[in-house]
Structure 1
Amino acid sequence: MRQTARFTAAVMVVALVGAPAQSFAKRLDSDQISGRPLSSCDPSHTVAPDISAFSGELSASNGVLWSRRATSQHAMASTTKLMTCLIALERCDLDETVTISSRASSVPYALGLQTGERMTVRQLLELALIASSNDAAMALAEHVGGSIPGFADIMNERAAQLGMKATHYVNPHGLDAPGHYTSAQDLATLAKTVMKLPEFRRIIRLRSVTVPAYKEQPARTVKSTNALLRSYRGIIGGKTGFTDDAKYALVSFAERDGITLTAVILGAPSSETRFKTAARLLDWGFKHLRVQAVASPTQTVGTVPVSANPGWSVPARFSQVTTLPVFDLDGPVSSEASLASAVSIPVFEGEPLGTVRLMQGDRTLATATAVAAIDLASAEETVGAVPISDYIDRTVVARASESSAAVQEFDPAVPVERTITLDPQVNAPVAVGAPLGKIVYTQEDRIICTVPAVAATRVEAPGTLARFGIWIARGLRGLVGAPRIAAPQVAGS
């Protein structure tokens, strides 16, 4: 809302002198950083921003970074128009035509729209947000709500839906009135809601808006009331406000290096202070909140035992690079892995093995996926036993060979079939690692990997006398129909 000649210098001096000195203090013990009051000395006053305003809030996607009296009720001035425009954007077609009423054209501190003038909803939104036009706000309210009281009811209903518990509206423009108030916290909630709308984002970037010609009145260009649009690096836009009760207000949106901040200032002592305070608050936010890589595939997060051989395990790592906005005053980022109790062979690199919580203190920033860091086709698990032809009842244990075989990616939710094929018998001597067969893993008839089966121990050939004894024993067994060689064994059969 623009200051006019009606607000004389004398009135302003009285208003500012009459304001409580503490309202404009740069730092208060009750100011909060991430919900912690400065009085706790952690963080201390030295790291808090210098803010000259009655109340305010700085927030980002990961929460509130700084606040002062965030839930205290305060007059809101023209930041009211954020709700007016939100409702118009949600309920109107941008090309709808609105006729300016006599009540709208006669509202105090109007831009000069005339009774009977016809404008689109889009034009009125631009005038309300960029020129802070009270008459445009009135026209939108009457168009949507049928009357100012009717529109105020809609505003309060929408505020309740957004959880704005410290807010109440009685008009669409923000002129001081009993029962018309908000809080910095509520205003930030509203601001982030309306910021989701593409048309709103387009409009608040405008540095000026044109009021079309009407009758004898020529077309004219009105600059944005938001001085930060012309001076602050990364500014997206916002909404200004001023009344005697509210003093100077500002809602600002800015973006740098992938970080978007929303700053709310209520009750600044002057227009210049309002913009300097908002810029200082945004700068402080960008200094302490930065996008960081908090997880990388090169980082191991733990190991998972192999069910077939608990002596073996699979290293788990982060599945991908995870970048997050990290507020450095909340302390270092830590991780807490929740991994599977065991994993079955085979394992492919990238197979999900659990999750990892990324935290600052007790607050979870994100949950990342932990995956296998390697292919593992074998854990040297026992797969059976092969009879030794030189003996009657002796076998050699067969195990999966230590293998670097690649494992094809498969669906962990679908069963994997294991087929073990071992030689019917083997001749002594048998060396450790001697081939005894193979292990094939398949899923829905697709081969995932093949692993050799090998001898787990060495078996020497029998001596001459032993062979003679074995020959006699076999003959006798043959007479009674007993087996003359050990039976093969296959795991799982």
Structure 2
Amino acid sequence: MQSRRLQWWVVTWMGGIVFCLLSGTLSDSAARPARRPRRAAPLVSAEHPPLPPVRAFAAVLLADAETGQVLFSQNEHKEWPAASLTKMIVGLLALEAVDRGLLSLQTPVSISRRASQAGGRTINLRPGEVFPLEDLLRAMLVTSANDAAVAVAERLKGSVETCVPAMNKRAQELGMLQTQYQTVNGLPPTDGSPPDLSSAADMAILARALVRRPQVLRWTALNRVPFRAGQIMLPNTNRLVGKVAGVDGLKTGFTYKARFNLVSTAQRGPLRLIAVVMGGQSSKIRFRTAADLLEWGFARFTRLHVVKSGEPLGTAVRVEYGSVSALQPIAATDASFLLRKGEDADLKIFLQLPAVVSAPIARHQVLGEMVVRNSQRTVAIIPALSPWDVPKAYWVPARR
């Protein structure tokens, strides 16, 4: 009897333990829902990439190359060491001298001792060597050769000391108000004087002047450029070339004080953008951020044409004392601006023209202007020109 009771007690006790274990498991499962597999972070749509983080930079700017319209900026007028971005204006001055017939791309350039002793990144030029101007310009703009920059400056203006004032004068003419050059290659001074200073806004102005020259972009779009009759291939310091769609320029810069600078440009269809980053913490970050800025701009903006050069503006102006009684002014230039995709343009056009003009009137004489505004700002101001010459009319009063 006692044996049966003991067996019954043991079975009951073990069943209770099993019940408790099962109950605990079930109650725990009810209290904590089963874990779902983690979903991968959603990929950013290539059609609408986010604006990249730019706080790590001294200055950033994204602009339309055609009009200069700023699409995004941060500290764009802050003065910052230009480093090798300085070489951009040396290249511009040289090409403008070629335009005026003062030099040609095949002009021989003799290497001075001073040029051969340039520090930093060089292509090992030796005193007395002679190279075509084009070879040195490519080496200066593509591989950022400091010795080539000195050689070009000396051939251009006779010496570095006379070239620097010419660089500053041209910068002022372009409207680069935060720029002051001290050198021709951007190397930091050794005598305690200030470095070459500029700003993201000024670099965008200079970039716009350079990208209008197809020859520059043919050079800066190359991954490597030949030197010494093809015996050496010089690498492009701009790592976006060949890796980001449409990128064909423009210039890198680095010193310890400036950190990592970059002016980059890309063309996709009818749209060319310029991205400027200054003071990046690393080379990789500057390239990644510039690429992201370009992608952001191409994905979000489209060009809206307002008027084309030579197009009649639709309002006649009365002419007195002329061979015609009226004329219709034409637009002096193309006018367009970038608009966010899907956004309403909300354009308002104001013609500021005189009621009457007196002959004689010269062809393309400025008669007034067309002002284009949207809800936020003035988009464009286009001079209104006379489409033709209007001579003064002479006549003899009738006799009575």
> TM-score band (shorter)?
0.5 to 0.7
Q: Kindly state the Cα deviation for residue 206 of structure 1 after the two structures are TM-superposed.
A: 1.8
Q: Kindly state the Cα deviation for residue 357 of structure 1 after the two structures are TM-superposed.
A: 7.8
Does structure 2 retain, via aligned residues, the 8 Å contact 1:330–1:360? Answer: no
Q: Give distance in 2, aligned partners of 1:272 and 1:190.
A: 24
**Could you tell me which residue of structure 1 aligns to residue 59 of structure 2?**
55
Structure 1 residues 359, 82: closer, same or farther in 2, change over 3 A?
same
Does structure 1 retain, via aligned residues, the 8 Å contact 2:261–2:286? Answer: yes
Q: Kindly state the Cα deviation for residue 334 of structure 1 after the two structures are TM-superposed.
A: 1.6
Query: Does 2:81 align with 1:75?
Result: yes
Does structure 1 retain, via aligned residues, the 8 Å contact 2:200–2:276? Answer: yes
Q: Kindly state the Cα deviation for residue 48 of structure 1 after the two structures are TM-superposed.
A: 4.3
Pick the aligned partner of 2:274 from 239, 262, 271: 262
Q: Which residues of 2 match residues 111-260 of structure 1 at below 5 A?
A: 111-177=123-189, 178-179=193-194, 180-212=196-228, 219-260=231-272
Does structure 1 retain, via aligned residues, the 8 Å contact 2:303–2:338? Answer: yes
Does structure 1 retain, via aligned residues, the 8 Å contact 2:84–2:254? Answer: yes
Q: Kindly state the Cα deviation for residue 113 of structure 1 after the two structures are TM-superposed.
A: 1.2
Report the 3-state secondary structure (helix = DSSP H, G, I; strand = E; otherwise coil) of the residue aligned with 2:288.
Answer: helix
Q: Kindly state the Cα deviation for residue 124 of structure 1 after the two structures are TM-superposed.
A: 0.6
The C-alpha deviation readout for 1:207-266, integer Å capped at 9, x for no partner, is 2112206xxxx9211111111002001112110111111111110111113111011111
**TM-score (structure 1 length as normaliser):** 0.52
Q: Which residues of 2 match residues 282-293 of structure 1 at below 5 A?
A: 282-291=294-303
Of structures 1 and 2, the larger Rg is shown by: 1
**Could you tell me which residue of structure 1 aligns to residue 375 of structure 2?**
361
Q: Give distance in 2, aligned partners of 1:168 and 1:323.
A: 31
Report the 3-state secondary structure (helix = DSSP H, G, I; strand = E; otherwise coil) of the residue aligned with 1:228.
Answer: coil
Q: CA RMSD in A?
A: 2.9
Report the 3-state secondary structure (helix = DSSP H, G, I; strand = E; otherwise coil) of the residue aligned with 1:334.
Answer: coil
Structure 1 residues 209, 337: closer, same or farther in 2, change over 3 A?
closer
Q: Kindly state the Cα deviation for residue 77 of structure 1 after the two structures are TM-superposed.
A: 1.0
**Aligned AA for 1:79?**
L
Report the 3-state secondary structure (helix = DSSP H, G, I; strand = E; otherwise coil) of the residue aligned with 1:230.
Answer: coil
Q: Give distance in 1, aligned partners of 2:163 and 2:305.
A: 47
Q: Give distance in 1, aligned partners of 2:169 and 2:381.
A: 35
Does structure 2 retain, via aligned residues, the 8 Å contact 1:261–1:282? Answer: yes
Q: Give distance in 2, aligned partners of 1:333 and 1:248.
A: 37
Q: Give distance in 2, aligned partners of 1:120 and 1:53.
A: 38
What is the number of residues matched between the two proteins? Answer: 279
**Aligned AA for 1:183?**
S
Please, which runs of 5 or more residues in structure 1 have no aligned partner?
Answer: 1-45, 296-321, 340-354, 369-493
Query: Does 2:87 align with 1:88?
Result: no
The C-alpha deviation readout for 1:169-219, integer Å capped at 9, x for no partner, is 111111113332111111111111122223212211122112206xxxx92
Q: Give distance in 2, aligned partners of 1:360 and 1:47.
A: 25
Instruction: State the structure with bigger RCO (CA 8 A, min sep 6), 1 or 2.
Output: 2
**Could you tell me which residue of structure 1 aligns to residue 72 of structure 2?**
66
Does structure 2 retain, via aligned residues, the 8 Å contact 1:132–1:225? Answer: yes
Q: Kindly state the Cα deviation for residue 117 of structure 1 after the two structures are TM-superposed.
A: 0.9
**Aligned AA for 2:199?**
S
Report the 3-state secondary structure (helix = DSSP H, G, I; strand = E; otherwise coil) of the residue aligned with 2:244.
Answer: coil
Q: Give distance in 1, aligned partners of 2:113 and 2:266.
A: 38
Query: Where is the strand percentage greater, Structure 1 or Structure 2?
Result: 1
**Could you tell me which residue of structure 2 aligns to residue 433 of structure 1?**
none
Does structure 1 retain, via aligned residues, the 8 Å contact 2:112–2:128? Answer: yes
Report the 3-state secondary structure (helix = DSSP H, G, I; strand = E; otherwise coil) of the residue aligned with 2:201.
Answer: helix
Q: Which residues of 2 match residues 226-375 of structure 1 at below 5 A?
A: 226-291=238-303, 325-328=337-340, 332-336=344-348, 359-365=373-379
Q: Give distance in 2, aligned partners of 1:138 and 1:260.
A: 31
Does structure 2 retain, via aligned residues, the 8 Å contact 1:152–1:169? Answer: yes
Q: Give distance in 2, aligned partners of 1:257 and 1:278.
A: 19
Does structure 1 retain, via aligned residues, the 8 Å contact 2:83–2:185? Answer: yes
